[in-house]
Homo-oligomer: A and B are copies of this chain.
Amino acid sequence: MLRVGLVQHQHRGSKKANLDYAAQQIAALSKDGVVLVVLQELQSEFYFCQSEQSHHFDLAEDLQGSTVKTLSDLAKKYRVVIVSTIFEKRCSGIYHNTAVVLDQDGSLAGYYRKMHIPDDPGFYEKFYFTPGDALPDKQHGFAPITTSLGKLGVMVCWDQWFPEAARLMALAGAELLIFPTAIGWDRSDSQQEQLRQQQAWQLIQRSHAVANNLPVISCNRVGYEPSSEDHSCGIDFWGRSFITGPQGEILAESTSNQEENLMADLNLEDTEKVRRSWPFLRDRRVDAYGNLVQRVID
């Protein structure tokens, strides 16, 4: 049995305050027996993608930077695997939204550079983030990250809307799908529209569990973050993080837009059990899927 947890929190004013909060919560979760902790997207920063400003590139760090160093120390101290994401500077001119996975000994087990980059009002990510490389080898594309606890199919936020991504992770041996995310409402949308969006967001991620017979952990930001743009009303990050089993069944769920930790016990062997009863992988029509690499079949 694998006890997993996540930390859903507000931007607490500074990088130091965000990392301090993560440290406190990792300590608390570890005390409760959690051995895998998921943090939200760009955990140590405010959501700077609400506007396009060149000076925000100053926030980026490399894979040996202070955020990874802090997470590494925490992973080692509490003997937990930590999944988080950073604003990565790969080189001058190439920046990524990168998930990092620290193993229980503090080593960097691997990283994943966000493949699908969104861009819509308030989420100007295409300005900041170069998409992850497509090369399907162990360090690029949809490659699971091997840790002491298993192979983690870590993706980031917008990736969650693409069944192709989850499938490729599953085919490559992921035992668990994990989405650090930062999604919220535009206050100018109607309540019905907000509800449709939030339900669709949970639904699509639960569907990856169903289609691939894998547990899913989704950790979202929470709380209001204003925009520096005059015409924008900021974002209400909607929280509502959750953890599912391999049939998409909810095991733990934040039902509020408050700060909250979640925990659940996963039995990774259930995947084998479910795949014997619901043998989707057996029946995939790989001879008929070639057109999935087309933009449109026109």
Contacts and interface: CB of A to CB of B under 8 A. Distances in A.
Interface stretch (A55-63, A93-101, A254-262, A290-298): A290-298
Given A197-B247, A204-B211, A289 B297 contact: no
A118 B163 contact: no
A247 B202 CA distance: 12
Interface in A264-298: 277-281, 283-298
Interface string A118-135: 101000000000010010
A222 interface: no
Nearest to A285: B115
Interface stretch (A67-75, A165-173, A225-233): A165-173
Contacts of A120: 277, 279
A172 to B, nearest CB: 4
Contacts of A162: 211, 280, 283-285
A149 interface: no
Contacts of A32: none
Contact of A207 (B115, B204, B298): B204
Contacts of A285: 115-116, 131, 134, 162, 164-165
Interface string A152-183: 00000010011111011001110000000000
Query: Chain A interface residue count: which class?
Result: 35 or more
A248 interface: yes
B295 A284 contact: yes
Interface of A: 115-118, 120, 131, 134, 136, 141-142, 158, 161-165, 167-168, 171-173, 196-197, 199-200, 203-204, 206-207, 210-211, 247-249, 277-281, 283-298
24 contacts: A115-B288, A116-B285, A117-B283, A118-B283, A131-B285, A134-B285, A134-B288, A136-B297, A141-B288, A142-B288, A142-B291, A158-B283, A161-B211, A161-B278, A162-B285, A168-B291, A168-B292, A199-B249, A200-B247, A200-B249, A203-B206, A204-B211, A207-B211, A287-B293
